[in-house]
Amino acid sequence: MLKNITVIIFVIFSWQSFSQNSTAKEDSIMLKKIYNTALLNGKSYQWLDYLSNQIGARLSGSINAQKAVEWGETELKELGLDKVWLQSVMVPKWTRGVTEFAYIETSPGTTTNVPICALGGSVPTPIGGIKNPIVEVQGIEDLRKLGTSEIEGKIVFFNRPMQADLINTFEAYGGCVDQRYSGAAEAAKFGAVGVIVRSMNLRLDDFPHTGTMSYGDLTDLEKIPAAAISTNGADLLSSMLKLNPKIKFHMNMNCRTWKDVESFNVIGEITGSEFPNEYMIVGGHLDSWDLGDGSHDDGAGVVQSMEVLRLFKEVGYKPKRSIRVVLFMNEENGLRGGKKYAKVAKSKKENHVFALESDAGGFTPRGFSFDCNDTNFKQVLSWKSLFEPYLIHYFVKGGSGADIGPLKNEKIVLAGLRPDSQRYFDYHHAKNDTFDAINKRELELGAATMTSLVYLFDTYGVK
Amino acid sequence: MLKNITVIIFVIFSWQSFSQNSTAKEDSIMLKKIYNTALLNGKSYQWLDYLSNQIGARLSGSINAQKAVEWGETELKELGLDKVWLQSVMVPKWTRGVTEFAYIETSPGTTTNVPICALGGSVPTPIGGIKNPIVEVQGIEDLRKLGTSEIEGKIVFFNRPMQADLINTFEAYGGCVDQRYSGAAEAAKFGAVGVIVRSMNLRLDDFPHTGTMSYGDLTDLEKIPAAAISTNGADLLSSMLKLNPKIKFHMNMNCRTWKDVESFNVIGEITGSEFPNEYMIVGGHLDSWDLGDGSHDDGAGVVQSMEVLRLFKEVGYKPKRSIRVVLFMNEENGLRGGKKYAKVAKSKKENHVFALESDAGGFTPRGFSFDCNDTNFKQVLSWKSLFEPYLIHYFVKGGSGADIGPLKNEKIVLAGLRPDSQRYFDYHHAKNDTFDAINKRELELGAATMTSLVYLFDTYGVK
């Protein structure tokens, strides 16, 4: 009897082990197929070429944003998905107007121009601009130390740089961006008449980097104009202030906020063959800032997400669950698209089990960050070796993506693609975020890496 | 008694474990110090700016190569190393002459210009160039299939592209480079009058990529001119040949090989405090091709290697073993510097225990490749977790670097830095290998990663 049991146990274990190995082998063959197809016969680069070079910058509410919506819908329809539709959403509309102008005045008539750009959502300066004394601070907490007496009637210059010794540049961004987001609202409380913020850029160069800001609870009358200055400009300004604290700063901007306008999320779906009511989504955001052409932020994420569904068709994989690509509108200055998508999903009681966003640039993929429970994270870690041949090693718990954030609940797995982050802030929200800064292979590897993760979650389900 | 033994064993294990942890902690503190210093207070980028922008291209035997030698010596002396010296070596001298010119002639008078560049070491065309029928092949093995009857009097066009589905682009390079290196020697045997090789580039663009070639045993009279054509040019030529196999190709080059000239390896040393007769070297090659300014190949490796010794001084680490930085001359077209260094080391019976080369571009470091025995590789793997915070995950057995190859023996550990390889062949040996293609942080992370490995080998020794 004991002998028989031993034999049975042996058989069971052998079968389990065989079955596990054979599944792992199938998975590894599928991943190889996905990567090969992305690299040999990918479409993401060609799509991005069109989006960046034929449409270009596409700030929410702009004509280009509408063109991007129409392009997205057309391209998704061409893929022969089961469903493609537009989801209406009201978005803010802000325009920069003519290019901003600024100079440092060391004495009447002696001026040095510096590159600035209005922060997204800023009010304009009065016509003709303002020229005022300027005071440098290293952060919001310095405002209280200086007090109204030192700030009233002045422009406040926030100059705390990104921390270069952090390996993950997004951490360095997180450690600075409060100056850009809340600097104007806080400085206005102490009587400041304007705000200049050092660009969120680890490089020393001449590009000012825009980005969203908020006036918090300020009334329209209390709002003050806010602009970013290039890192070289910030260093120059700071050194001139050290030599002569009495220099004045001139800034002239005629940006404007308009009434909200209608725009759209663009959505495409391959309906699941076994569990059509379990939804898995991949997405990026279709809107961009207005300075470059938004190739890294987030044209890359848009075309990589589209590519996930195209690659499934190309390699002949029919998902068990319903897979949607969502091209979100208005991530940059409102997140209205992400909020709307989640709201509709909730009202329709759609069971979203997994969401993956690519919004960290089209660079060589290093892995993913997961916002999920421990069981699901354990499941992810069990797939690590499958990604090894593609040099994907980075699997951590953490944030995912802004657009998919509103879908968060106790069960869903949220994930963000994590490309190499070293170059991202060289381009982020600046004029040089353009198609020539994209490497085709790096972009394609990102799409393949995303597709592989979606394939695994679809195959094994979300626990 | 048993109890006492248990206590003793417990104490021993606790102590071992404590001691191991405390050492690991010290190592991790040292690595943090190295990375922080490289990122906050690095010198590699500033050095490379000078080497690339003030000196520029530095092909062996050129005036610029000599300037680079003098610059390297001066900078190493400024570091206050224990010894700095030049090691004389005779190197080949080849010059490109005026820019090459080529066109496709579809019918007399109807021509299309295409970008070519002579391969390093090629003979020139006769004055005025040659114009001949051209035949496309996918590799050297096709020559035999075609035979003399199909090749004689023609230009042979080697057009096998790099394989895009290989994740490691160096593998794709390895699968193609025989066309460039031996194509002319082999085609000449079948009566070819010239050779055109598709550039070793995964991108479609207009840059021809040069590189070294060999005529093998051919006599001077048998040698035929050989050039690279840009990938766009190769695709155009191939499609025109399909439409009309009778088109002719014109190429005009006036490159020239001169007598060997004297040049130098530049060497600096921090003499070891405990084992001065054990040598560990870090290096890159000071020479470059003549088309760009050699920022990635191999200016990056040069300044990163110099930075290893500077960082040791900066963080106050005094190596137990003698650490040398070697700036090798003539890697590109002769490897004379690498061979000379090894020859001298052997004749002086210097005990080299470790050598590390950086010659794969200044991109985000991913890890190392090791040419060593299993014991040493095991030792390396035991350090993996120390590199995890810096996203260094790639530790494999394989090749190391061309310049340090001649040092190989049974005991030495040879290693090569392995940066992300996706963009490398966009720039390799082409006009666009310039300083603007370098990201400061990526370069600095590479230097810190090299320094960390040298630190660990110095601390624990080579088994």
Closest CA to A331 of A416, A226, A247, A455: A416
B35 touches chain A (CB under 8 A): yes
Residue of B nearest to A390 (CA): B167
Which of B:411-430 have CB within 8 Å of A?
Answer: 420, 422-423, 426
A366 touches chain B (CB under 8 A): yes
**What is d(CA B121, CA A174) in angstroms, rounded to the nearest whole number?**
52
Residue of A nearest to B418 (CA): A391
At which residue do the structure tokens 């690339």 appear? Answer: B52
pLDDT of residue A20: 58
Q: For residue B69, what is the enclosing H or E element? A: helix B63-78
A202 touches chain B (CB under 8 A): yes
B167 interaction partners in chain A (CB closer than 8 Å) = 35, 389-391, 445
Is A439–B445 a contact, with Cβ atoms under 8 angstroms apart? Answer: no
Residue A177 has which token pair?
A: 């961006």
A1 touches chain B (CB under 8 A): no
Q: How far apart are the first and last CA of chain A?
A: 38
Is B390–A167 a contact, with Cβ atoms under 8 angstroms apart? Answer: yes
CA distance B165 to chain A (A): 5
**What is d(CA A373, CA A161) in angstroms, rounded to the nearest whole number?**
35
Give the CA distances from residue B409 to residues A316, B282, B346, in Å, rounded to whole numbers and listed in that order: 50, 17, 11
Please say whether the beta carbons of B198 and B227 come within 8 A: no
**What is d(CA B26, CA B434) in angstroms, rounded to the nearest whole number?**
39
Query: Phi and psi (nearest 5°) for A282?
Result: -125, 140
B164 interaction partners in chain A (CB closer than 8 Å) = 39-40, 441
**Sequence-separated (6 or more) residues with CB below 8 Å from residue B319:** B270, B272, B273, B280, B312, B454, B458
- Say if residue A10's pLDDT is above 70: no
Q: How far is CA B369 from the centre of its chain?
A: 14
B390 touches chain A (CB under 8 A): yes
Is A391–B394 a contact, with Cβ atoms under 8 angstroms apart? Answer: yes
Average pLDDT of chain A to the nearest whole number: 96
pLDDT of residue A19: 54
The dihedral sign for the CA sequence B288, B289, B290, B295: negative
Eight-state DSSP code of residue A212: B
pLDDT of residue B1: 47
DSSP string for residues in B300-326: HHHHHHHHHHHHHHHHT---SEEEEEE
Task: Give the bridge partners for B87, in sequence order.
Answer: B265
Is B40–A391 a contact, with Cβ atoms under 8 angstroms apart? Answer: no
A41 touches chain B (CB under 8 A): no
Q: For residue A321, what is the enclosing H or E element? A: strand A321-328
Eight-state DSSP code of residue A398: S
DSSP three-state, residue B449: helix
DSSP three-state, residue B49: helix
Given B269, B314, B331, B332, which residue is catalytic? B331
Give the Cα-Cα-Cα angle A22, A23, A25 (nearest 5 degrees). Answer: 65
Diameter over CA atoms, chain B: 103
**What is d(CA B427, CA B423) in angstroms, rounded to the nearest whole number?**
7
CA neighbours closer than 13 Å in the CB half-sphere of residue B210 = 27
Identify which of B164, B169, B389 has the shortest CB distance to residue A167. Answer: B389
CA distance B65 to chain A (A): 30
Q: pTM here?
A: 0.95
Given A331, A332, A357, A444, which residue is catalytic? A331
Eight-state DSSP code of residue A291: S
CA distance A378 to chain B (A): 19
**Sequence-separated (6 or more) residues with CB below 8 Å from residue A53:** A293, A435
A35 touches chain B (CB under 8 A): yes
Is A167–B366 a contact, with Cβ atoms under 8 angstroms apart? Answer: no
Identify which of B203, B366, B391 has the shortest CB distance to residue A167. Answer: B391
Task: Give the bridge partners for B354, in sequence order.
Answer: B280, B413
**What is d(CA B105, CA B331) in angstroms, rounded to the nearest whole number?**
37
At which residue do the structure tokens 């014991």 appear? Answer: B375
pLDDT digits (tens, 9 = 90+) for A400-445: 999 999 999 999 999 999 999 999 999 999 999 999 999 999 999 9
Q: How far apart are the first and last CA of chain B?
A: 38
Cis peptide before B298 (omega within 30 of 0): yes
Is A390–B445 a contact, with Cβ atoms under 8 angstroms apart? Answer: no
**What is d(CA B241, CA A152) in angstroms, rounded to the nearest whole number?**
75
**Sequence-separated (6 or more) residues with CB below 8 Å from residue B270:** B81, B82, B309, B312, B313, B318, B319, B322, B323
Q: How many CB pairs under 8 A join A and B?
A: 61
Is A445–B422 a contact, with Cβ atoms under 8 angstroms apart? Answer: yes
At which residue do the structure tokens 């968060």 appear? Answer: A408
B40 interaction partners in chain A (CB closer than 8 Å) = 164-165
Is B426–A439 a contact, with Cβ atoms under 8 angstroms apart? Answer: yes
Eight-state DSSP code of residue B120: B
A298 touches chain B (CB under 8 A): no
Residue B18 CB burial class (10 angstroms; 0-12, 13-18, ≥19): exposed
Identify which of A164, A422, A440 has the shortest CB distance to residue B442. Answer: A422
Mark whether A331 is an active-site residue.
yes
DSSP three-state, residue A50: helix
Q: How far is CA A419 from the centre of its chain?
A: 12
CA distance B56 to chain A (A): 22
Residue A326 burial (CB count, 10 A): 26
Long-range contacts of A405-412 (CB under 8 A, 24+ apart): A405/A338, A406/A335, A406/A338, A406/A339, A406/A341, A406/A342, A406/A343, A407/A281, A407/A341, A407/A342, A407/A345, A407/A352, A407/A355, A408/A371, A410/A373, A411/A353, A411/A462, A412/A352, A412/A353, A412/A354, A412/A355, A412/A372, A412/A462
Q: How far is CA B95 from the centre of its chain?
A: 21
Residue of A391, A426, A436, A445 to mutate, interface with B, max B Cβ within 10 Å:
A391
pLDDT of residue B8: 52
A366 interaction partners in chain B (CB closer than 8 Å) = 391
B39 interaction partners in chain A (CB closer than 8 Å) = 164-165
B165 touches chain A (CB under 8 A): yes
Listing from the earlier edge strand, what are the strands of the sheet with B116-118?
Answer: B110-113, B101-107, B248-252, B130-137, B155-158, B194-198, B226-229, B116-118
Q: For residue A105, what is the enclosing H or E element? A: strand A101-107
Is B164–A394 a contact, with Cβ atoms under 8 angstroms apart? Answer: no
**What is d(CA A225, CA A220) in angstroms, rounded to the nearest whole number?**
11
**What is d(CA A105, CA A247) in angstroms, rounded to the nearest whole number?**
6
pLDDT digits (tens, 9 = 90+) for A162-213: 999 999 999 999 999 999 999 999 999 999 999 999 999 999 999 999 999 9
Go through the domains of chain B in sequence order and give each one's CATH number.
33-94+259-460 (3.40.630.10), 99-254 (3.50.30.30)
Residue of A32, A296, A364 to mutate, interface with B, max B Cβ within 10 Å:
A364
Residue A14 burial (CB count, 10 A): 10
The ipTM, to two decimals, is 0.94
- Say if residue A1's pLDDT is above 50: no
Percentages (nearest 5) of helix, strand, coil residues in chain A: 40, 25, 35
DSSP string for residues in A229-288: E-HHHHHHHHHHHHH-TT-EEEEE---EEEEEEEEEEEEEEEPPSSEEEEEEEEEEES--
Low-confidence ranges of chain B (pLDDT < 70): 1-22
**What is d(CA A327, CA A294) in angstroms, rounded to the nearest whole number?**
14
pLDDT of residue B463: 83
**What is d(CA B455, CA B463) in angstroms, rounded to the nearest whole number?**
15
Residue of B nearest to A34 (CA): B165
Is A40–B165 a contact, with Cβ atoms under 8 angstroms apart? Answer: yes
**What is d(CA B376, CA B406) in angstroms, rounded to the nearest whole number?**
19
A36 touches chain B (CB under 8 A): yes
Give the CA distances from residue B57 to residues A305, B44, B217, B413, B429, in Å, rounded to whole numbers and listed in that order: 42, 18, 30, 31, 11
Is B366–A391 a contact, with Cβ atoms under 8 angstroms apart? Answer: yes
A440 touches chain B (CB under 8 A): yes
CA distance A14 to chain B (A): 31
Residue of A169, A171, A393, A435 to mutate, interface with B, max B Cβ within 10 Å:
A393
